[in-house]
Structure 1
Amino acid sequence: MNISTPDLCDEHGDAVQVIELQFKHYGANHHFGGEIVTIKCFEDNSLVAEQVKTAGNGRVLVVDGGGSPRRSLLGDNLAAAAVKNGWAGIVIYGYLRDVEEIAPMPLGVMALGSVPRKTEKRNEGQLNVSLHFGQCTITPGQYLYADETGVIIAEDKLVD
């Protein structure tokens, strides 16, 4: 997917939101986008594990982990499941692990950083709820576009 977030911002102006956070790229795809599925969780990736094992159909999983640096919300096994099941990307307002293993995977993966500690499994979290971080409100069914410059959110599909 050929994405330029600066060009999309120029073309669509205030119709797109810019997430005001500095995410790092971890997967091999640095240009990705798709319809959003949301998860809100804190130091428990049970829902992330469930979702990446379902058909992604080119969608992007947006995970609000509260920005916690204490637990990883994604590792190599879950990233591999996302690739296998056709997810376009995963954006985590939080941390991940297994950086070296995720790097060559054909998946867009962005997070605030990395931490080696695994998540807790409490089967907690919320699926397909509105998220609020980086000065944005992100809702299921919107579209996320990411590249080396940043991450934007749009109400409608902007790129095929």
Structure 2
Amino acid sequence: MVVIFSTCDICDANEDKIGEGRLHVLPPVFLGFGKQVRFFGQARTLKVFEDNVLVRATLETPGQGHVLIVDGGASLRCALVGGNLGVLAEKNGWAGIVVNGCVRDSEELNGCNIGIRALALHPQRSVRKGVGEQDIRVTIAGVAVSPGDWVYVDVDGVLVAAEKLH
């Protein structure tokens, strides 16, 4: 089943939830990559800093239509997701990835049939130490995201909701 939605329509229909803090709009700082300009799913979260070992390990698991939220500390010094991880995410059924940090291999990412949002592009890969946390509450551009929150993304923005809104 294909679900068509608009983040603008979701905001208009849920102004009460915005006022109550149950629906948040991330600041408009994210660039879009991948073939899917519109995607949604429940959040899985990671907190890493300039280290993408946990990103790879998570994307190697079945995504089941989830959206991976990667809190990379807004670092602009290296990429946390590249073309290989984009292919892996597509292969394993992830709906999309939102990176509070950088990605690389933009041409390869744009060939993947998932949606990706990130702060910027950076050609350098991350270190690989395996340091980070998963399935915890993270903060992305000032907005708290918990595992299981619903994430809605289209060309107009990124929304985080405490409940399913479609």
* Band of TM-score, shorter chain: over 0.9
Asked if 1:103 corresponds to 2:110, the answer is yes
SS in structure 2 of the partner of residue 73 of structure 1? strand
Q: 1:120 aligns with which of 127, 151, 154?
A: 127
Q: 2:6 aligns with which of 4, 7, 26?
A: 4
TM-score normalised by L of structure 1: 0.96
**Unaligned stretches of 5+ in structure 2?**
none
Give the total of aligned pairs. 159
**Unaligned stretches of 5+ in structure 1?**
none
TM-score normalised by L of structure 2: 0.93
Q: 1:63 aligns with which of 70, 73, 76?
A: 70
Equivalence for 1:46: 53
Q: Per-residue displacement from partner, 1:86-140 (whole Å, max 9, x unpaired)?
A: 0000000000000011102110101011000011001101001111132211100
Which stretches of structure 1, 4 residues or longer, exceed 2 Å deviation after superposition? none
Aligned residues: percent identity?
Answer: 38
- Measure the CA separation in 1 of the matches of 2:98 and 2:48: 13
What is the CA distance between 1:3 and its match in structure 2? 2.3
8 Å CA contact 1:36, 1:143 repeated in 2: yes
Equivalence for 1:26: 33
